[in-house]
Amino acid sequence: MSVVFRLPDLGEGLTESEIVSWKVAEGDEVALNQVIAEVETAKAVVDLPSPYAGVIRRLHAAEGDTVEVGAPLVEYDVEGAGGPSAPGGAPAPAAEPEPAVPEPASPEPAEPGPAESSPSPKEQGEPAAERVAMLVGSVQVADGRRPKRAARTFEQTPFVRQERRRVRAFPPVRRLAKERGIDLAAVVPTGEGGLITREDLERSAAGPAAPASRRERVSRLRKQTAKAMTAALAVPHAACFLQTDVTETLRLARDPADDGAPSPTLLSLACRAIVLAAKRTPGVNATFHADEEEIEFHGRINLGIAVATDRGLVVASVDDADRLDATELAEAIAARAGEARDGSIGVAALTSSTLTVSNVGVFGVDGGIPILTPGQSAIVALGAVRRLPWEHDGGIALREVMTLTVSFDHRVIDGREASVFLRDVGRMLERPALALARG
């Protein structure tokens, strides 16, 4: 029968040895204790005496090779039920009533287990040592074997991490909360360092169970928006309002021209007015460069349209908006808004705007004080159209009225310029024919 002699630990925790020379060859008959090899460990050069009498069937390493402890070294053909002793790795003869001592421990990860040694990477064709990614850094896994936990004899439930804020409370309070089904994260702590005291717990238990707060992870877009908004508020904002009678402009949007061309929308007409007015008040289409102490008046007018998407607010740019008429603007705005909503919008279109319009009117409010898009000097909010009693032709009539708001960078322009700009826009929306006259 065939037995395998595996390389033993030759010296108190050594992990490998080098075969200096073989004293036998495959096919040789060897006697018990006959020296079969000379090996070198980190500590000593030693002779290896044969643990069996028999014929060498196979030598598992060549001279010069480094062999790991526990790896097969020599395969023998022996007679009968194995040699008189069972050295490292070979199972004890079946007749023995007591189990043989497991082979001397080698410095592998100390996983308790049965006596047979695991196959070494040399046998398996040496997989490269695995790096296992951890949260920070990584673990070099020895011998290419990923550490695994032994199976348990009892049923284990899957680990579910409870996502909740860390709270500070002493064990009796924690136990009490658990008993009463109170979520400690919802309790207001009054102790030092945010400690939830027993009284805090009693207080929260006294009234109706406080509704639990809910926490939501912030999306990447919202994070960016938050960042941008926070940065933007460093800029000194001021704002002007103007209520405008847009009845005439609305008529343009509602009554199509009789040549079959598509109609502009109220939004696009307003944008057209804004663009025209911006040409006349370049300060609303500028950037304040604080470091260089310069104001850059942009050559192009790239109109940013604020679009609400599922993920949050984006500003999509219609570049060179001044070159488009109201109808073309309507198409461009619709296209951009569609791209923004379905996520196909390009990075350039998200960053190239020089002046922003925010149509808050679609949400039913009159206006707001919008926050500047970073790098811009003005943002215009268009409110909802309201049917209001208004002064008209010397009397009171129900007119379509919209509030315009411009929020501006006070380092670039002041209230006067902003007002001039807004008044310019309002005038065009009151009397659209003025745009025809003035361009």
Partner 1 sequence: MSISLPVPRSELIEGLDAPLGVLDPEGSRRASPLLDESLGDVDESVLTDLYVDMSVVRRVDEEAFALTRQGALVLWPPLRGQEAAQVGALRALRDEDFVFPSYREHALAVLRGADLADVLAVWKGAALSGWDPFAQRLAPSQIIIGAQTLHATGYAMAARRDGGDDIALACFGDGATSEGDVNEAMVFAASFRAPVVFLCQNNQYAISEPVGVQSRTPLALRATGFGIPALRVDGNDVLAVLAAVRIAAERARTGGGPTFVEAVTYRMGPHTTTDDPGRYRDDAEVAAWHAKDPIDRLERHLARIGAPVDRIREEAAIRCDAIAAQVRAAADRIAAPAPESMFDHVYVEPTRRLERQRAQHRAFTASVEGLR
Partner 2 sequence: MTAETLTLGRAVGRALSDALDADPAVVLIGEDIGRLGGVFRVTDGLQARFGADRVIDSPLAESGIIGAAVGMAYRGARPVVEIQFDGFVLPALDQIIAQVARIRFRTRGRVRMPLTIRLPYGGGIGSVEHHGESPEAYFAHTPGLRVVTAADPQEAYSTLRAAIASDDPVLFLEPKARYWTKGEVDVAIARDLESARLLTRGRDVTLAVYGPLVQTALEAATAALDEGIEIEVVDLRSISPLDVDAVVASVERTGRLVVAHEAPAEASVASELITSVVERAFAALEAPPERVTGYDTPYPPSAIESHYLPGLDRVLDAVDRTLGRRSSHELLEGSAR
Question: Least separation, in Å, of the C-beta of 207 and partner 1?
Answer: 45
Measuring CA to CA, how many Å separate 317 from each of 81, 216, 374, 377?
86, 30, 14, 15
Q: Could you tell me which residues are beta bridge partners of residue 403? A: 243
| Cα(340)–Cα(183) distance, integer angstroms | 40
Number of residues binding to partner 2, judged by CB under 8 A: 48
Contacts with partner 1 by CB under 8 A lie at 5-12, 33, 43-51, 83-89, 92-93, 96, 98-104, 112-114, 150-154
Which residue lies nearer to partner 1 by CB, 79 or 96? 96
Is the Cβ–Cβ distance between 19 and 37 less than 8 Å? yes
Nearer to partner 2, 97 or 171 (CB): 171
What CA dihedral angle connects 336, 340, 342 and 347, to 10 degrees?
100
Instruction: Compute the distance between CA of residue 319 and CA of residue 352 in angstroms, rounded to an integer.
Output: 7
Active-site option among 237, 289, 298, 410: 410
- CA dist 419 and 408 (Å) reads 10
Q: Which residue, 15 or 263, has its beta carbon nearer to partner 2?
A: 15
To the nearest whole angstrom, how small is the minimum distance from the Cβ of residue 225 to partner 1? 51
> Which partner from the list partner 2, partner 1, none does 433 bind, CB cut-off 5 to 8 Å by kind?
none
188 counts as binding partner 2 under rule CB under 8 A: no
With binding defined as CB under 8 A, does residue 135 bind partner 2? yes
Q: Which is nearer to partner 2, 133 or 261 (CB)?
A: 133
At its nearest, how many Å lie between partner 2 and the CB of residue 133? 9
171 binds, among partner 2, partner 1, none (CB under 5 to 8 A by kind): partner 2
Site for partner 2 in 15-34 (CB under 8 A): 15-16
Q: Does 125 interact with partner 2 (rule: CB under 8 A)? A: no
Quote the Cα angle for 260-262-267, to 5°: 150
**What is the nearest approach in angstroms of partner 2 to the Cβ of residue 9?**
6
Which one, 173 or 357, has the nearer CB to partner 2?
Answer: 173
Q: Rg of the chain over CA atoms, in angstroms?
A: 41
Q: Distances from the Cα of 120 to the Cαs of 16, 143, 232, 241, in angstroms?
A: 11, 8, 61, 79
Nearer to partner 2, 141 or 221 (CB): 141
**Using rule CB under 8 A, residue 102 touches partner 2:** yes
Residue 179 found at the interface with partner 2 (CB under 8 A) = no
**Binding to partner 2 by residue 12, rule CB under 8 A?**
yes
**According to the binding rule CB under 8 A, does residue 9 interact with partner 2?**
yes
Residue 123 vs 342, nearer CB to partner 1: 123
Name 66's bridge partners: 18
- Contacts of residue 293, defined as CB under 8 A and 6 or more positions apart, other chains included, come to none
User: Which of 141, 205, 229, 384 forms a contact with partner 2 (CB under 8 A)?
Assistant: 141
Of 149, 214, 217, 416, the residue at the interface with partner 2 (CB under 8 A) is 149
Q: Give the nearer residue to partner 1 in terms of CB position, either 128 or 150.
A: 150
User: For partner 2, which residue of 24, 195, 205, 308 counts as binding (CB under 8 A)?
Assistant: 195
* Residue 67, strand partner residues: 17
Residue 303 corresponds to which tokens in the numbers above?
């109109």
| Separation in Å, CA 46 to CA 11, 139, 256, 356 | 11, 35, 103, 84
Render 371-433 in DSSP notation, one character per residue. PPPTT-SEEEEE---EEEEEEETTEEEEEEEEEEEEEEETTT--HHHHHHHHHHHHHHHH-TH
- Phi, psi for 111 (deg, rounded to 5): -95, 115
Residue showing tokens 């695995």? 130
C-alpha pair distances (Å), 282 with each of 211, 270, 296, 329, 425: 52, 17, 10, 20, 13
The reply to whether 158 sits near partner 2 by the rule CB under 8 A is yes
Q: Shortest Cβ distance from residue 240 to partner 2 (Å)?
A: 50
In the annotation, is 410 catalytic?
A: yes
* 169 contact, one of partner 1, partner 2, none, CB 5-8 Å limit per kind: partner 2
406, two tokens: 């411009």
Q: Which does 114 bind (CB under 5 to 8 A by kind): partner 1, partner 2, none?
A: partner 1
> Any contact of residue 155 with partner 2 (CB under 8 A)?
yes
List interacting residues with partner 2 (CB under 8 A).
9, 12-16, 42-43, 101-102, 104-107, 109-112, 132, 134-137, 139, 141-142, 146-150, 153-161, 166, 168-171, 174, 193, 195
For the annotated catalytic residues, the residue numbers are 410
